[in-house]
Amino acid sequence: MELIQSNRCFNGEQRIYKINSKSLKGESKFGIYLPKKALNGEACPALFFLAGLTCTEETFAIKAHAQQLAAQLNLILITPDTSPRGENVEQGDHWDIGQGAGFYINAMQAPWSEHFQMETFVADELYSLVNQEFLIEQNRIGIFGHSMGGHGALTLALKYPEKFKSVSAFAPICAPSQCPWGEKAFSNYLGENKTEWLKHDATALVEEKGALFTDILIDQGLKDQFYSQLNPALFEQSCKRAGQKLTLREHEGYDHGYYFIQSFIEDHLKFHHAQLHA
């Protein structure tokens, strides 16, 4: 683990690390915000944030404006990259497949399967690494994300409730098996067996797993240019059938971008802080 950037931020530090990932078979980067309490050697709760299509480990740190409240709440923020990177990694033919578009799943088909093991990277490798290298309070780790990363946050939380105690999302891809983004990614990464797709679909997973969390928070803009791809209503219906409490808030005038995230980031950090300390 090599520190490649560190910036003072609200009396804490925003850092970028480079690692040689076994699961991705190559170099990867992740960001981490450490509040002052963590720098002083005291354990803090942590949140994983999974970013969306085309983003990197830096996008949330630069655009979301989350560090000020994270410093006040003593929350560590962990931001992995969205895919494997490098000259030997398949690039893809468009912005919604390949590098920058890992979908937080483990690919099963060539040429993707060699490097695109993002589920294992986030939920096992990076999860273990940050717990070894930083003082994180046991059983106080949450996960949230945006768009493709919202899909990742929901699905990883539902698959690994023993690791993630709280979950929320901004404009998540709620039913990737039923939208063009998900159909393209899943057919390339997983193959044509749609039964396999459902293992990585939050709308299907919540019905399979049942009620695992006290609450799930989703914020969705109603002026979102990608609304037709996101299907929050399908996830809401599945949560009702599963008995899983969902707070779905839809906002007039807000689109899909980071101004939307900035507008509601405080609510999400406070939501996780309350859930992690319940």
Active site residues: 147, 224, 256
28: how many CB neighbours lie within 10 A of its CB? 24
What's the full length of the chain, in residues? Answer: 278
- Reduced to 3 states (helix: H, G, I; strand: E, B; else coil), residue 115 is coil
HSE of 237, CA atoms in CB hemisphere, 13 A: 6
Q: How many Cα neighbours within 13 Å face the side chain of 47?
A: 34
Contact (CB, 8 A) for 58 and 49: no
At 26 the three-state DSSP class reads: strand
Q: Residue 247 contacts by C-beta under 8 Å, 6 or more apart in sequence? A: 215, 216, 217, 218
Partners of 17 in beta bridges: 3, 30
Nearest CA to 246 out of 169, 176, 189 is that of 169
Per-residue CA distances from 224 to 2, 95, 151, 220, 256 (Å):
38, 19, 16, 8, 5
Count the Cβ atoms, other than its own, within 10 Å of residue 9.
17
